[in-house]
Chain A
């Protein structure tokens, strides 16, 4: 086995195409996860049991089953009775939905971590409910929430190659296709190294954030 830089060179244009798709999936998936997670977290705090229970059940179910099978479900089952989506769109929705159940826990813990006294003080000052959330609770919750959210973005990055299994041309999809066409494996190695190169500085960044924000 010898390493052939020419193969790597041939792969690079498609590698960058793949990077673009991966980034697209990551960015939009992150947005969905962050927003949807907040919806789940607030619903789980609802005073109405008929809101709380189903949401808790659904999020627990999604969090405890494999993303890969969820992607298959979205790609092969949902079109039977719902919209038919492209592989990339399916992948984005799957990533966002799966990770929203994790971010929901982050928000839940972040909001729960704000001392009860803060709610009481807001009540004592007769702040409106919306004002209490915006001015008192969320600003305090946010610093507990940012580092773990960052961790989940990195986790999502590492799970993003799964969308290749339903035919999206992300980094792994491109590498796989290229390898099959050329009977080489360099492309896979390049993608593997690329993940480490991106994930390591990202986790350093999160640790730095954590040190700044927590305490």
Chain B
């Protein structure tokens, strides 16, 4: 059975590294998600185009291959990344691309009539985005962001492959040292599940706050963790027509 010494020297710090990688990659991913997501709604075609290329490239990319590439190939271009930052970057860049689709879709789903009301009150485009469209799109973004965040948490296990000492890395070390595979990997799986559960609980609170902020009460959802939308990660852009002629 695993010694308590090993647990405290490798496993506990590993849990902390997993949390750190998740938080940093989520922060980078969120920045990219909003940056690229907003750019994809730009009026300028060149901005839309560049953001679209980013989206297609990083969505098509395998996170693990990208991570390997950043770890092994990028240094030869003169960019030596600390393993942890190679991992965080690869995760943030790919999951940010998925997130941009959530941002774009939720913004597109804000009723066009709301934009028109903003025009009628003479808001600028940026004021409309900041005061009307983003606050209304935000509650719609939270559940898909929750799913994405859990995918990201699961993705952080990949950093163990490029020698970042997260909890999966600790588990692999322990296997090499003791051959006690059953308790090690069982514990690992349970730990990830618990972290995913905590994230879902936290995001549930965020969702409730967000909905309350627009005067809605959220409906109760699934009992264990989360509901996936049947269309994978994409958000369906609702199209509500805004009345044309008299």
Show the binding face of A for B, using Cβ within 8 Å: 1, 56-57, 60-61, 63-70, 72-73, 76-77, 80, 102, 105-106, 108-110, 113, 144-145, 147-148, 151-152, 155, 157-162, 165, 172, 176, 179, 185, 188-189, 191-192, 195-196, 198-200, 203, 210
Contacts and interface: CB of A to CB of B under 8 A. Distances in A.
Given A76-B185, A77-B186, A195 B62 contact: yes
A65 B62 contact: no
Given A151-B233, A158-B62, A189 B189 contact: no
B188 to A, nearest CB: 5
Interface string B174-195: 0100000110011011001100
6 contacts: A65-B154, A67-B154, A77-B185, A80-B182, A148-B231, A161-B62
Contacts of A179: 72
A176 B225 CA distance: 36
Contacts of B228: 63, 102, 105
B76 A185 contact: yes
Given A73-B185, A188-B73, A64 B62 contact: no
Interface of B: 56-57, 59-66, 68-69, 72-73, 76-78, 150, 153-158, 160-161, 168, 171-172, 175, 181-182, 185-186, 188-189, 192-193, 196-197, 224-234
A179 B197 CA distance: 39
B65 to A, nearest CB: 5
Given A68-B168, A189-B69, A158 B63 contact: yes
Which secondary structure dominates chain B's binding surface?
helix
B193 A64 contact: yes
A105 B229 CA distance: 8
Contact of B197 (A64, A67, A198): A64
A189 B66 CA distance: 9
Contacts of B77: 1
Given A60-B225, A76-B185, A188-B72, 15 more contacts: A1-B77, A61-B193, A64-B196, A64-B225, A66-B157, A66-B168, A69-B171, A72-B172, A80-B182, A108-B230, A158-B60, A160-B62, A188-B69, A196-B57, A196-B61
B232 A148 contact: yes
B3 to A, nearest CB: 19
Nearest to B197: A64
A106 B230 contact: yes
A70 B73 contact: no
Contact of A69 (B157, B196, B232): B157
Given A64-B150, A64-B192, A69-B188, A192 B76 contact: no
A106 B227 CA distance: 11
Nearest to B196: A64
B39 to A, nearest CB: 19
A179 B77 CA distance: 16
B65 A191 contact: yes
Given A148-B231, A188-B68, A199 B196 contact: no
